[in-house]
Chains A and B, each alone.
Chain A
Amino acid sequence: MIHLRGISKRFEGKRTVTALERLDLDIARGEMVSIVGPSGSGKSTLLNLIGGLDRATEGEIELDGATLSRLSDDELTRVRRDKLGFIFQFFNLLPTLTCVENVALPLHLRGWPRAKIEARTKELLNLVQLGHRLDHQPDELSGGERQRVAIARALSVYPPILLADEPTGNLDTATGVEILKLIHDVHERLGATVLIVTHDANVAESCERTLRIRDGRIVEDIRRESARSSTEEPTRA
């Protein structure tokens, strides 16, 4: 599903900073992978590269059959909007739009017909248990609720890959647990490939695979059989 070959990322400035150093990685379809590491280790950079928000200095990234380095900016955008969903630490909801509008945004951008957008948006907000807050604006919601809206937005086209950058980083523990549960639920129900960058050990350990990154290299690649230790409660349908 995701193949990285010899990926390097250097930031040119007064002195060149190497964020990733000849990194190889393969992630299979349906895997749920957490990426951990100290600040500045390159984990966010890795996620940005996979998400097509940034381009690698060297190496190839293949995403569901598409080689990113060969794509133009607009083609990259198309890959992003068809195959990827993003969840950010600070939610990045548009403050002026209601929940419905925020979630509908990517669908509008794809030019979906209105009726279809409406149906899908409702479906998604129900999925994240916000069916009762359709017309609220982000600043009327709690942090957890905002992240749910963000997740709904990320899922709007049911992308095969979901990328989350510290999804629980800005939430209290209880809410964080709830959001994590939601992500797991989505993963299971939709069979999406999920990559989570996190500092939270609980989050990391809940995934079946964890990559530990330090100084731009993968120093550890842990696979777990049963990875649901912290989220024992059954999820609701």
Chain B
Amino acid sequence: MMLWSLISWPYARKHLLRWMLTMAGIVLGVGVFVGMHTANRSVLSAFQETIDRIAGSTQLQVTAGEPGFDEDILEKVQNVPEVRAAAPVIEATVATGSGNLLILGVDMLGDRSLRNYDLEDTDASIDDPLVFLAQADSLLVTKTFAEKSGLRVNSRVPMRTMQGDLTFTVRGIMKPGGLASAFGGDLAIMDIYAAQKFLGRGRKFDRIDVALADGVSLDEGIAKLRAAVGSGYEIAPPSSRGEQFEQTSRIYSLASNITSVFALFIGMFIIYNTFAIAVTQRRSEIGILRALGATRSQIRALFLGESAVAGLIGSTVGVLFGIVLARAMAGYIGGMLTEVYGVAQRAGDVALDPLLIGGALAMGIATSVVAAVIPSRAAAAVDPVKALQKGRDQAVSERENRLRQWTATLCAVASAVTLAFNRTPLVFYAGFVLSVVAAVLLTPALTLWLARLLRPLLQWARPVEGTLAADSLIQGPKRTSGTVAALMLSLALVISLSGLARSSYEAISDWTRIALNPDLFVTTAQSVSARTFVFPASLGDGLRKIQGVGEVQSVRSVRVNVKGSPVMLLALDIASMEQHAKLPSVQGDPHEMYRLTAKGEGLMASENYMRLHGAKFGEVLDIPAPSGRLHLPIVGVVRDFSDQQGTLIISRAAYVRTWNDDSVNVFRIYVAPGAQEAAVRQRIIDTFGKTQRLFVLTNGDVRRFIRRLTDQWFGLTYVQIAVAVLIAVLGVVNALTVSITDRRRELGVLQAVGALRQQVRHTVWMEAIAIGVIGLVLGLSLGVVTLYYAVGMARRDFMGTEIGYSYPFDTALVLVPVILFAAFLAAIAPGEAAVKGSLVEALEYE
């Protein structure tokens, strides 16, 4: 400790800026880690809280996926003797002027035995249950929402329903707390039968909430209920809805973990770099300490201690940064959750998990300490006698160099070997790691080689400055290669991410062209994917009668639980699909699969369903449905991007039969030959617009929507790219700052023998640009390899879709000026530092 305050602190204080830059990698790595996971957890806990609050005293919920089930099931459930109370629920999120409103449709008669509706005391006795029921336009709103929207009892609330534009009346205002605080208070209660009507649900419920009689255990309750309703229903405690979400958000966690690991990995090089230089600079200090009796292990402990403290500070800042990040990300993940489950939640304050934060701190500190191991060993190995003599550091030993190159070659070969056997994830990821390790180990040698190659070029550009810049790189391979490695890794990351994004874009736009080719889409909401409202099937007949309408396809998309994961079930007219929008076949006979599916003898699965859920061609899927279970073999695999979790396509007839649900999410319309698209669109709106909640989107609208959705999907990727570029820039700044400090004397000499300040600046700038060039060459090359793995990873674990390997040359081309400019920017401050300060001191430096 004494040693630390005497030796380390003054040094750190003197090089504050450098230490700050050094910690940047840790800050980012820890920040992204904490941010993503905290956001995830906050959303999850907000979700869980909303579930809990809505659940009231509900012990079990009876569900049958998104399509819901017929209301006569309620009686079956209520007749189970072990059930104390069972209340039907419809839950939907509806966009209003003041944000999303969670509409909870309940049966006010029975629901009070599960949930508390504490109403604000109002003057009138209008909060009359009879009035609430007698008037279908009744709403109960929370005090929070009422105050936010300026509502009082009897206030009118406009809403766009399946019955057209209607106004609802506030019949009561719920006191805050309990149910009224679910979904951040943006909650309204509607009579469930009114909700059925206004949301177009027919005579269906989303679920039944059940409270068991006293003394009945959950397991017993589940067994009795299952016996009563059949196996097509899911019966589980409300909390299990959260577990499903956790599974879905796993993908996002994994993706962010990779970014974190990369950031920390890159940060490790920056730290290594800084420590290696610090050890060099402090050789005489170390020599003095050793001469005064410090042991080798004391010296080693000193440096490791410093790195631990740096790691601690960096991770602490990272945690704070992560909390800021979490707030931004929570909304994003929340949106995804609502999209996937149609279940609303609202993340209020981010919830901090001490364990997560502890883990993140430990991770940051460990990274820092690991990075400092080699430099601190070098410090401990300093010979006191030699160190006290003035002179330069000994160069990297030939033996070490050769050892490194051999290891690198070995790694590269091993990595190449794994390519042949990359069936299992372990081998695949091992190959990835090996190739990166090989690249990192080869960095010093490659840097040296490239710097030599660059020397004549730089010399030609500016004889003195160029030479000096190149030589600085050649002379300090240790100093530079850390940065180059960091830069290389960052760029490789950027290349793989953007290559991935681009390939996916291509794949998705191919699919869009094929699958989304109708001229018009009649939907219940502005977004094609919203499933809150549904149309009655009869609307299709009405649409067919409209002049200029050629073919109408009725599409029902619902999320159902297959083997415990929520997947998208797409029910449509298969024959029409084969004729108009035939998806490319990945596996299975392209005609036969349509024939079997149309007959209801099989289903087509999307490629990503197969991969993400490990399904096999021909496998019989067991899909729960209210009328029992639907057993259909996978008769074809197609490329479809309708859903991230995977899509199952069945015939509409089979769906209607099994789910007893003939409602429709989207009508896809092909305009008759010769008819004007815009005119047809207008006719549809004129005919149905007044009596029906309905939107008519053009093909362009839908494509734009998909494009936006895809952008959102890759939102995280862009964050990762930004992080990677940022780290790259920080790495260059760090390396240059270190380099300037290291070469102060040299730059002093340069000025003493007549270099103008501009010339010194040019030297620094050229060095920066040279680092940029080398980093670019290595990074863009490594990107070729990492992109391969990224594509494999996406196929295997994220998207489940076979996407082509397509090197993003455009991105690479953009990166060249970006990185060179960034390197130049990074060089400005160090360049100024080089020409400022006393020449005399610079000459006497060391």
Residues of A within 8 A of B (CB): 48, 51, 53-54, 73-74, 77-78, 80-82, 86, 88, 90, 92, 94-97, 101, 105-106, 108-110, 114, 153-154
B749 on interface, CB distance cutoff 8 Å: yes
Contacts of A86 on B, CB cut-off 8 Å?
Answer: 752-753
Question: How does the 8 Å CB contact mask read for B440-472 relative to A, with 1 for contact and 0 for none?
Answer: 000000000000000000000001100110011
**B752 adjacent to A109 (CB under 8 Å):** no
**A109 adjacent to B843 (CB under 8 Å):** no
**B464 adjacent to A108 (CB under 8 Å):** yes
Contacts of A154 on B, CB cut-off 8 Å?
Answer: 753
Query: What distance in Å separates the Cβ of A62 from its nearest Cβ neighbour in chain B?
Result: 20
Stretch among B51-59, B294-302, B755-763 lining the A interface: B755-763
Contacts of A96 on B, CB cut-off 8 Å?
Answer: 471-472, 474-475
Partner of A101, one of B467, B474, B838: B467
B390 on interface, CB distance cutoff 8 Å: yes
Contacts of A77 on B, CB cut-off 8 Å?
Answer: 751, 754-757
**B471 adjacent to A94 (CB under 8 Å):** yes
Contacts of B201 on A, CB cut-off 8 Å?
Answer: none
15 more A-B residue pairs beyond the given contacts A92-B843, A96-B474, A96-B475, with a C-beta to C-beta distance below 8 A:
A54-B840, A77-B757, A78-B756, A81-B754, A86-B752, A88-B843, A92-B752, A95-B392, A96-B471, A96-B472, A105-B750, A108-B463, A109-B759, A110-B754, A153-B753
Partner of B757, one of A73, A81, A97: A73
Contacts of B463 on A, CB cut-off 8 Å?
Answer: 108, 114
Contacts of B752 on A, CB cut-off 8 Å?
Answer: 51, 53, 80, 86, 92
Number of chain B residues whose Cβ lies closer than 8 Å to a Cβ of chain A: 27
**A48 adjacent to B840 (CB under 8 Å):** yes
**A106 adjacent to B753 (CB under 8 Å):** yes
Query: What distance in Å separates the Cβ of A159 from its nearest Cβ neighbour in chain B?
Result: 10
Closest B-chain residue to A48, C-beta based? B840
**B471 adjacent to A53 (CB under 8 Å):** no
Partner of B749, one of A92, A110, A114: A92
- Tell me the chain B residues, 741-787 only, with Cβ under 8 Å from chain A: 745-746, 749-759
Contacts of A90 on B, CB cut-off 8 Å?
Answer: 390
Q: 6 interchain pairs (CB within 8 A)?
A: A53-B839, A74-B756, A86-B753, A88-B749, A92-B749, A109-B754
Closest A-chain residue to B841, C-beta based? A54
**B756 adjacent to A97 (CB under 8 Å):** no
State the majority secondary structure of interface residues on B: helix
Contacts of A105 on B, CB cut-off 8 Å?
Answer: 464, 750, 753
Contacts of B838 on A, CB cut-off 8 Å?
Answer: 54
**A54 adjacent to B839 (CB under 8 Å):** yes
- Tell me the chain B residues, 367-420 only, with Cβ under 8 Å from chain A: 390, 392
Closest A-chain residue to B753, C-beta based? A106
Contacts of B390 on A, CB cut-off 8 Å?
Answer: 90
Contacts of B392 on A, CB cut-off 8 Å?
Answer: 95
- For the complex, what is the distance from the CA of A109 to the CA of B751, rounded to whole Å? 10
**B472 adjacent to A109 (CB under 8 Å):** no
**A92 adjacent to B757 (CB under 8 Å):** no
**A97 adjacent to B753 (CB under 8 Å):** no
Contacts of A54 on B, CB cut-off 8 Å?
Answer: 838-840
Given contacts A54-B840, A86-B753, contact A95 B464 (CB under 8 A): no
Query: What distance in Å separates the Cβ of A90 from its nearest Cβ neighbour in chain B?
Result: 7
- For the complex, what is the distance from the CA of A82 to the CA of B753, rounded to whole Å? 10
Closest A-chain residue to B462, C-beta based? A108
8 A-B pairs closest in CB distance: A81-B754, A96-B471, A108-B464, A92-B749, A53-B839, A108-B463, A96-B475, A106-B753
**A106 adjacent to B749 (CB under 8 Å):** no
- Tell me the chain B residues, 725-753 only, with Cβ under 8 Å from chain A: 745-746, 749-753
- For the complex, what is the distance from the CA of A97 to the CA of B749, rounded to whole Å? 13
Query: What distance in Å separates the Cβ of B430 from its nearest Cβ neighbour in chain A?
Result: 40
Contacts of B754 on A, CB cut-off 8 Å?
Answer: 77-78, 80-82, 106, 109-110
- For the complex, what is the distance from the CA of A154 to the CA of B749, rounded to whole Å? 11
Given contacts A95-B475, A96-B471, A97-B471, contact A109 B839 (CB under 8 A): no
- For the complex, what is the distance from the CA of A86 to the CA of B472, rounded to whole Å? 23
**B467 adjacent to A109 (CB under 8 Å):** no
- For the complex, what is the distance from the CA of A54 to the CA of B463, rounded to whole Å? 27
Closest B-chain residue to A91, C-beta based? B749
Contacts of B474 on A, CB cut-off 8 Å?
Answer: 96
Closest B-chain residue to A44, C-beta based? B840
Query: What distance in Å separates the Cβ of B549 from its nearest Cβ neighbour in chain A?
Result: 79
Closest B-chain residue to A80, C-beta based? B754
Contacts of B759 on A, CB cut-off 8 Å?
Answer: 109
Query: What distance in Å separates the Cβ of A34 from its nearest Cβ neighbour in chain B?
Result: 21
Query: What distance in Å separates the Cβ of A70 from its nearest Cβ neighbour in chain B?
Result: 18
Contacts of A51 on B, CB cut-off 8 Å?
Answer: 752
**A94 adjacent to B749 (CB under 8 Å):** yes
Closest A-chain residue to B746, C-beta based? A94
- For the complex, what is the distance from the CA of A119 to the CA of B474, rounded to whole Å? 27
Contacts of A78 on B, CB cut-off 8 Å?
Answer: 754, 756
Contacts of A95 on B, CB cut-off 8 Å?
Answer: 392, 475
- For the complex, what is the distance from the CA of A105 to the CA of B390, rounded to whole Å? 24
**B843 adjacent to A53 (CB under 8 Å):** yes
Query: What distance in Å separates the Cβ of A129 from its nearest Cβ neighbour in chain B?
Result: 21
Contacts of B753 on A, CB cut-off 8 Å?
Answer: 81, 86, 105-106, 109, 153-154
Query: What distance in Å separates the Cβ of A37 from its nearest Cβ neighbour in chain B?
Result: 17
Partner of A74, one of B467, B749, B757, B843: B757
- For the complex, what is the distance from the CA of A128 to the CA of B751, rounded to whole Å? 23
Query: What distance in Å separates the Cβ of B464 from its nearest Cβ neighbour in chain A?
Result: 4
- For the complex, what is the distance from the CA of A94 to the CA of B468, rounded to whole Å? 9
Closest B-chain residue to A53, C-beta based? B839
- For the complex, what is the distance from the CA of A101 to the CA of B474, rounded to whole Å? 15
- Tell me the chain B residues, 485-505 only, with Cβ under 8 Å from chain A: none
Query: What distance in Å separates the Cβ of B283 from its nearest Cβ neighbour in chain A?
Result: 16
Query: What distance in Å separates the Cβ of A149 from its nearest Cβ neighbour in chain B?
Result: 12
- For the complex, what is the distance from the CA of A87 to the CA of B467, rounded to whole Å? 22
Q: Of residues B392, B756, B758, which shows the largest number of chain A Cβ atoms within 10 Å of its Cβ?
A: B756
- For the complex, what is the distance from the CA of A165 to the CA of B745, rounded to whole Å? 16
Contacts of B471 on A, CB cut-off 8 Å?
Answer: 94, 96-97
- For the complex, what is the distance from the CA of A50 to the CA of B755, rounded to whole Å? 17
- For the complex, what is the distance from the CA of A109 to the CA of B390, rounded to whole Å? 28
- For the complex, what is the distance from the CA of A123 to the CA of B758, rounded to whole Å? 29
- For the complex, what is the distance from the CA of A198 to the CA of B296, rounded to whole Å? 40
- For the complex, what is the distance from the CA of A95 to the CA of B472, rounded to whole Å? 10
Contacts of A106 on B, CB cut-off 8 Å?
Answer: 753-754
Query: What distance in Å separates the Cβ of A178 from its nearest Cβ neighbour in chain B?
Result: 22
- For the complex, what is the distance from the CA of A231 to the CA of B157, rounded to whole Å? 109
Query: What distance in Å separates the Cβ of A143 from its nearest Cβ neighbour in chain B?
Result: 12
Contacts of B840 on A, CB cut-off 8 Å?
Answer: 48, 53-54
Contacts of B839 on A, CB cut-off 8 Å?
Answer: 53-54
- For the complex, what is the distance from the CA of A101 to the CA of B455, rounded to whole Å? 13
Q: Of residues B392, B746, B754, B843, which shows the largest number of chain A Cβ atoms within 10 Å of its Cβ?
A: B754
- For the complex, what is the distance from the CA of A96 to the CA of B476, rounded to whole Å? 10
Q: Of residues A80, A90, A109, A153, which shows the largest number of chain B Cβ atoms within 10 Å of its Cβ?
A: A109
Partner of B467, one of A48, A88, A97, A110: A97
Query: What distance in Å separates the Cβ of A168 from its nearest Cβ neighbour in chain B?
Result: 16
- For the complex, what is the distance from the CA of A114 to the CA of B749, rounded to whole Å? 22
Contacts of A94 on B, CB cut-off 8 Å?
Answer: 468, 471, 746, 749-750
- Tell me the chain B residues, 817-846 only, with Cβ under 8 Å from chain A: 838-840, 843
- Tell me the chain B residues, 22-53 only, with Cβ under 8 Å from chain A: none
- For the complex, what is the distance from the CA of A219 to the CA of B472, rounded to whole Å? 45
Contacts of B472 on A, CB cut-off 8 Å?
Answer: 96
- For the complex, what is the distance from the CA of A48 to the CA of B844, rounded to whole Å? 12
Contacts of A97 on B, CB cut-off 8 Å?
Answer: 467, 471
- For the complex, what is the distance from the CA of A206 to the CA of B472, rounded to whole Å? 40
Contacts of B757 on A, CB cut-off 8 Å?
Answer: 73-74, 77
Query: What distance in Å separates the Cβ of A93 from its nearest Cβ neighbour in chain B?
Result: 8
Query: What distance in Å separates the Cβ of A74 from its nearest Cβ neighbour in chain B?
Result: 5
Given contacts A53-B839, A96-B474, contact A109 B746 (CB under 8 A): no
Contacts of B756 on A, CB cut-off 8 Å?
Answer: 74, 77-78, 109
Query: What distance in Å separates the Cβ of B127 from its nearest Cβ neighbour in chain A?
Result: 79
